[in-house]
């Protein structure tokens, strides 16, 4: 015990009691006092016996007269001690005061016995001293053992005797006696440690007993409270199942149900259902039953009882049943409510996902009906978020209730209708295979597309529907759910407010998508990407003035993969940021080989523009390759400006402050908000190739191209046309004022080494010596911008 170790660190710790709370200390003193009172008489008798032994051993010595006087003192001390003990037993003295008396009594006995060696040491022979030492050793051992529960008393008795014997032996001058004195000191120390250890064991037992007592009291209180507050009652029947005694605790129930009376059959009290049948069967078979939930036959509110019973036998003869009953109406209502909430949606009252899953498993086990089409229909509201954001969440809740009502109207009674989560619903329907399922789906989407009246406002909220037919081969419900979700995703993709039937092609495309995403992770880690460059030329001189950086994926099995096949996947899984950063570094590294007047364009995705690593990556790539910042041009689409416009414009201004050019790519294909051109001074506008491609055949494309060129010129921006493939397109754009051309008519995108017939590449070393001033300037500007961004 921790307190035991601490208490042995000093003499006071050896002698005193262990520290504890007052509550336990008082009980401990009472227990010590009771123990020492029981031993006092024994100790007095033992003292008289030992005195007699000493008188006998030293009767023929010259010290006998002194020993006789000493014996008289011992007797007087014992008489005084007995008288004092009787007084303390009769009087109402505190335990602490009584214990102090016994300590003083022990000290007096120890001093008296410690005098004996001085009386006989110089007259007794060695044999007498040996007998005396053995006797005193036994007295010390017996006294310390009997008084170990009171360390102070034990030590007060032990120490004077040990010191008296040891000092008297030292004074004789005999080496053997002096060695015995040393042994006596050791013996006394060992006994004191033994007393302390024994006392700690006593304390530990006392505390354990106190803890058990407290626990017993707590348990007794809980049992008493239970007995006082429980609604359980006893019941008993005869051999025929007829009540022989009315439950005392069921007086209220007795008034509500007049059937509960002596002479009524126990089974007749309850509503005939499965539980009542179990009760009747148990009574007939004389079998015990436990916690049987039964509905009471009652004209008023429903009441529920929990019944437990067992057969009674006396001298081997069956006498009936006896048991305990309890009114569990409230807990049964709570249990039913919890069960309802676990299987039904609280807002619409429709079955929820759990219930739908159970129904789906159940339906899948049924064989398909010939000439019938059974389908899992998964639908999602198209504009639910708009309703929540504009009309508020209460209106959104009311919309869900309207949708649930419409679904129940359009479905048959045998159909399963469930709300899965949020604005998702699911149906299990079965229709004749002569096209009735398709008719139902058309009716469903049309009905859900009709306007809703929400608090005086009209809301249009159609639904996209995915359908998965049941078949004999599919036995896993998870596959059905996945296929229905794929069909729903396809319905949303091709256009809202319609339905889409699952086909194997959808599953194949989903698997291919997962494979592409997995391969992308591998490609990023294994550096499988390459950068290609497509030249941009001056429309009048055909001199190369820039190159657009295009990424290619060198797949180990599929070969060269173009961006259209993997960029969308990279944006969905977040890898576009890592790929974009790599393209920036690779483009700047290749730009070292180009002449100084040729700029390099790099496309930036909407996800990448919000990345915290964009500016540090650009700064490091420019500084590491000693590139003039004005040679880098970042191309963004109008989609970039649609998300968090203020932040995007702020980020673009930061990039422009670094000296980097910004171009608006695919102009006219997105949202084409002219406010962006007014709020941010782009360096360049790029006409999308879809307009350039139809210049020769469509007048509207020519008009759009001319209007874009005029707009760029009036705003002081340069204009580049993408997708130029014929001389007519090049001449038309040049004559209309286009500054630069890009497309197959000039060159396809190629690795930089394959463009040497058009561009004179420089030879560069693998390691570039940085211009310290430019590098410090770029890092300082980037640091200032990050600090300003954090402050804003």
Last residue of a domain, one of 294, 311, 334: 334
- Quick one: 207 and 261 in the same domain? no
419 and 317, same domain (yes or no): no
pLDDT at position 456: 79
Same domain assignment for residues 574 and 693: yes
- Averaged confidence pLDDT in the chain: 82
Residue at 97 is within a domain: yes
| Residue 84 CB neighbour total at 10 angstroms | 16
pLDDT at residue 430 greater than cutoff 50: yes
pLDDT tens digits, one per residue of 293-329: 888 887 667 888 889 999 999 888 998 998 888 888 8
Out of 287, 311, 334, pick the residue that ends a domain: 334
* pLDDT the model gives residue 5: 42
Q: Answer whether residue 356 shows pLDDT above 80.
A: yes
Question: What integer is the mean pLDDT of 693-716?
Answer: 90
The continuous run of DSSP H or E covering 319 comes out as: strand 317-327
Task: Say yes or no to pLDDT of 156 above 80.
Answer: no
The predicted model gives 167-189 an average pLDDT of: 78
What confidence category does residue 615 fall into, taking pLDDT thresholds of 50, 70 and 90?
A: very high
pLDDT at 772: 47
What is the layout of strands, in order, in the sheet containing 303-314? 243-245, 233-237, 317-327, 303-314, 289-296
Pair 287, 297: CB distance under 8 Å = no
Q: Are residues 611 and 692 in the same domain?
A: yes
Q: Please check whether residues 560 and 450 belong to one and the same domain.
A: no
Confidence of residue 643 (pLDDT cuts 50, 70, 90): low
Q: Does the pLDDT of residue 124 top 90, yes or no?
A: no
pLDDT grade, residue 767 (50/70/90)?
Answer: very low
Whether 621 has a pLDDT exceeding 90, the answer reads yes
Question: How many residues belong to the chain?
Answer: 792
How deeply is 71 buried, as exposed, middle or buried, from its count of CB atoms within 10 A (0-12, 13-18, 19+)? middle
* Cβ neighbours around 257 below 10 Å, total: 18
Tokens at 468, concatenated: 């998965």
Is residue 521 over pLDDT 80?
A: yes
What does the alpha-carbon distance between residue 329 and residue 24 come to, in Å, rounded to a whole number? 47
d(CA 88, CA 105): 13
pLDDT in tens, 51-93: 787 777 777 777 677 777 777 887 777 777 777 767 666 676 6
Residue 510 lies in a domain: no
| Cβ proximity of 721 and 741 under 8 Å | yes
Lowest mean pLDDT among 635-644, 664-673, 690-699: 664-673
Last residue of a domain, one of 286, 313, 334: 334
Query: pLDDT tier at 730 (50, 70, 90 boundaries)?
Result: very high
Q: At what angle do helices 175-229 and 126-146 cross, to 10 degrees?
A: 10
pLDDT on residue 786: 59
Which residues, in sequence order, are CB contacts of 416 under 8 Å at separation 6+?
351, 356, 359, 363, 426, 427, 428, 429
Residues 174 and 281 in one domain: no
- Please, what's the b/e burial string for 636-673 (b: 16 or more CB within 10 A of its CB; e: otherwise)? bbbebbeeeeeebeebbebbbebebbbbbbbbbebeee
Asked whether the predicted pLDDT for residue 37 surpasses 80, the reply is no
CATH number at residue 477: 3.30.70.270
Confidence of residue 791 (pLDDT cuts 50, 70, 90): low
Per-residue b or e along 370-404, where b marks 16 or more CB atoms closer than 10 Å to that residue's CB: eeebbbbbbbbbbbbeebbeebeeebbebbbebbb
pLDDT value of residue 252: 41
Has residue 728 been placed in a domain?
yes
Q: Note every long-range contact of 537-542, with CB atoms under 8 Å and residues 24 or more positions apart, other chains counting.
A: 537/740, 537/741, 537/742, 537/746, 538/739, 538/740, 539/721, 539/730, 539/733, 539/734, 539/738, 539/739, 539/740, 539/741, 540/734, 542/746
**pLDDT higher for 467 or 346?**
467
Q: What is the rounded average pLDDT of the residues 525-537?
A: 93
CATH of the domain at 621: 3.20.20.450
Instruction: Give 36's pLDDT tier (boundaries 50, 70, 90).
Output: low
Q: Is the pLDDT of residue 510 over 60?
A: yes
Residue 342 domain flag: no
Residues 119 and 93 in one domain: yes
What average pLDDT does the segment 248-258 reach? 42
Residue 127 CA to its chain's centroid (Å)? 81
Mean pLDDT of 712-740: 93
Task: Note the pLDDT of residue 26.
Answer: 66
Q: What was the pLDDT predicted at 706? A: 92
Is residue 748 scored above 70 in pLDDT?
yes
Domain that holds residue 175: 2-216
Phi, psi dihedral angles at 362 (to 5 degrees):
-65, -45
Q: How confident is the model at residue 502 (pLDDT cuts 50, 70, 90)?
A: very high
| Number of other residues whose CB lies within 10 A of the CB of residue 703 | 11
Distance CA 248, CA 251 (A): 6
Clarify whether residues 733 and 764 are in a common domain: yes
Same domain, 574 and 612: yes
Q: What CA–CA distance (Å, rounded) separates 783 from 792? A: 14
- pLDDT, residue 770, reads 43
Whether residue 287 is found in the same domain as residue 329: yes
* pLDDT above 70: residue 790: no
Q: Which of 143-157, 390-404, 408-422, 572-586 has the lowest average pLDDT?
A: 143-157
Does a structural domain hold residue 341? Answer: no
Please give the pLDDT value at position 188: 79
Q: Are residues 265 and 147 in the same domain?
A: no
Q: CA 282 to CA 321: how far, in whole Å?
A: 10
Mean pLDDT score, 738-744: 94
How confident is the model at residue 390, as a pLDDT? 85
Is the per-residue pLDDT at 703 higher than 50? Answer: yes
Antiparallel, parallel or unpaired: β 424-432 and 452-454: unpaired
The pLDDT confidence band at residue 420, using thresholds 50, 70 and 90, is very high
> Per the domain annotation, does 267 fall within a domain?
yes
pLDDT reported for residue 218: 72
Structural domain includes residue 756 = yes
Average pLDDT over residues 211-223: 69
pTM check: above 0.85: no
The band of 2, judged by pLDDT with boundaries at 50, 70 and 90, is very low
Q: According to the per-residue pLDDT averaged within each range, which of 9-18, 414-423, 506-515 is highest?
A: 414-423
pLDDT at 727 over 70: yes
Gap between the Cα atoms of 98 and 92, Å rounded: 10
Are 257 and 168 in the same domain? no
Phi, psi at residue 291, to the nearest 5°?
A: 50, 50
Q: What is the CATH number of the domain that holds 291?
A: 3.30.450.20
pLDDT at 250: 41
Chain centroid, CA 367 distance in Å? 42
- Say yes or no to pLDDT of 543 above 90: yes
Rounded CA-CA distance 283/306 in Å is 16
List the single range of 24-28, 68-72, 180-184 with lowest mean pLDDT. 24-28
Residue 52's Cβ-count burial label (10 Å; 0-12, 13-18, 19+) is exposed
Residue 513 lies in a domain: no
Residue range 581-602, pLDDT digits in tens: 999 999 999 999 999 999 999 9
pLDDT at 383: 86
Q: Per the structure, how many domains does the chain have? A: 4
Q: What is the pLDDT of residue 117?
A: 79
Which comes out higher in pLDDT, residue 687 or 790? 687
Q: Which residue is listed with tokens 């000693």?
A: 626
């Amino acid at each position: 015990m921790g307190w035991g170790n601490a208490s042995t660190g000093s003499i006071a710790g050896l002698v005193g009691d262990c520290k504890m709370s007052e509550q336990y200390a008082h009980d401990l003193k009472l227990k010590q006092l009771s123990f020492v009172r029981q031993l006092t008489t024994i100790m007095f008798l033992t003292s008289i016996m030992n005195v007699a032994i000493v008188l006998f051993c030293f009767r023929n010595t010259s010290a006998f007269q002194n020993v006789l006087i000493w014996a008289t003192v011992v007797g007087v001390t014992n008489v005084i001690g007995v008288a004092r003990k009787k007084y303390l037993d009769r009087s109402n003295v505190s335990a602490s005061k009584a214990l102090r008396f016994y300590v003083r009594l022990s000290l007096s006995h120890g001093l008296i016995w410690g005098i004996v060696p001085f009386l006989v040491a110089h007259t007794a022979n060695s044999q007498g001293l040996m007998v005396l030492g053995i006797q005193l050793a036994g007295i010390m051992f017996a006294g310390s053992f009997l008084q170990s529960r009171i360390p102070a008393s034990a030590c007060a008795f032990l120490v004077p005797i040990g010191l008296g014997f040891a000092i008297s032996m030292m004074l004789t001058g005999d080496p053997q006696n002096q060695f015995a004195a040393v042994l006596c000191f050791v013996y006394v120390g060992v006994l004191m440690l033994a007393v302390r250890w024994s006392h700690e064991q006593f304390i530990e037992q006392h505390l354990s007993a106190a803890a058990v007592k407290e626990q017993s009291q707590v348990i007794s209180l809980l049992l008493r409270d239970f007995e006082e507050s429980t609604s359980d009652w006893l019941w008993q029947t005869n051999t025929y199942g007829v009540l022989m005694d009315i439950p005392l605790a069921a007086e209220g129930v007795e008034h509500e149900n007049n059937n509960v009376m002596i002479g009524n059959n126990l089974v007749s009290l309850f509503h005939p259902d499965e539980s009542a049948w179990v009760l009747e069967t148990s009574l007939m078979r004389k079998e015990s039953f436990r916690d049987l939930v039964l509905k009471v036959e009652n004209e008023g509110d429903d009441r529920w009882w929990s019944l437990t019973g067992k057969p009674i036998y006396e001298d081997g003869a069956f006498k009936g049943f006896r048991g305990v009953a309890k009114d569990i109406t409230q807990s049964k209502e709570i249990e039913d409510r919890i069960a309802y909430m676990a299987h039904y949606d609280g807002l619409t009252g429709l079955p929820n996902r759990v219930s739908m899953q159970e129904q789906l498993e159940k339906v899948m086990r049924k064989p398909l009906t010939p000439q019938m089409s059974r389908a899992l229909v998964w639908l999602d509201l198209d504009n639910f978020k708009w309703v929540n954001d504009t009309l508020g969440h209460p209106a959104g809740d009311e919309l869900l209730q309207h949708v649930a009502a419409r679904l129940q109207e359009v479905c048959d009674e045998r159909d399963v209708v469930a709300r899965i989560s949020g604005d998702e619903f699911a149906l299990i329907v079965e229709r004749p295979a002569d096209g009735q399922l398709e008719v139902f789906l058309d009716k469903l989407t049309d009905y859900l597309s009709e306007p809703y009246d929400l608090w005086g406002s009209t809301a249009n909220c159609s639904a996209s529907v995915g359908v998965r037919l049941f078949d004999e081969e599919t036995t896993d419900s998870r596959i059905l759910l996945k296929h229905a979700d794929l069909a729903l995703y396809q319905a949303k993709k091709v256009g809202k407010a319609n339905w889409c039937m699952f086909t194997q092609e959808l599953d194949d495309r989903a698997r291919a998508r997962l494979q592409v995403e997995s391969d992308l992770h591998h490609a990023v880690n294994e550096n499988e990407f390459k950068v290609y460059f497509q030249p941009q030329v001056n429309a009048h001189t055909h001199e190369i003035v820039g190159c657009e950086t295009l990424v290619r994926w060198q797949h180990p099995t599929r070969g060269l993969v173009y961006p259209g096949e993997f960029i969308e996947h990279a944006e969905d899984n977040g890898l576009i940021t890592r790929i974009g950063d790599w393209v920036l570094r690779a483009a700047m590294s290749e730009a070292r080989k180009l002449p100084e007047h040729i700029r390099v364009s790099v496309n930036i995705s909407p996800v990448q523009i919000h990345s915290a690593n964009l500016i540090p990556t650009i700064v490091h790539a420019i500084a590491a390759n000693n590139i003039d910042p004005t040679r880098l041009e970042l191309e963004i689409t109008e989609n970039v400006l649609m998300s968090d416009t203020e932040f995007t414009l702020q980020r673009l201004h930061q990039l422009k402050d670094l000296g980097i050019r910004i171009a608006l790519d695919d102009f006219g294909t997105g949202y084409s908000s002219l406010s962006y051109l007014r709020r941010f001074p782009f360096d360049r506008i790029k006409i999308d190739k879809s307009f350039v491609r139809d210049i020769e055949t469509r007048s509207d494309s020519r008009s759009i191209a001319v209007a874009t060129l005029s707009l760029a010129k009036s705003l002081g921006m340069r204009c580049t046309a993408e997708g130029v493939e014929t001389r007519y397109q090049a001449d038309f754009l040049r004559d209309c004022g286009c500054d630069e051309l890009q497309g197959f008519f000039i060159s396809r995108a190629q690795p930089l080494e394959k463009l040497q017939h058009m561009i004179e590449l420089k030879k560069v070393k693998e390691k570039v010596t940085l211009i310290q001033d430019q590098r410090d300037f770029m890092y300082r500007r980037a640091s200032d911008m990050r600090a300003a961004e954090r402050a804003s």
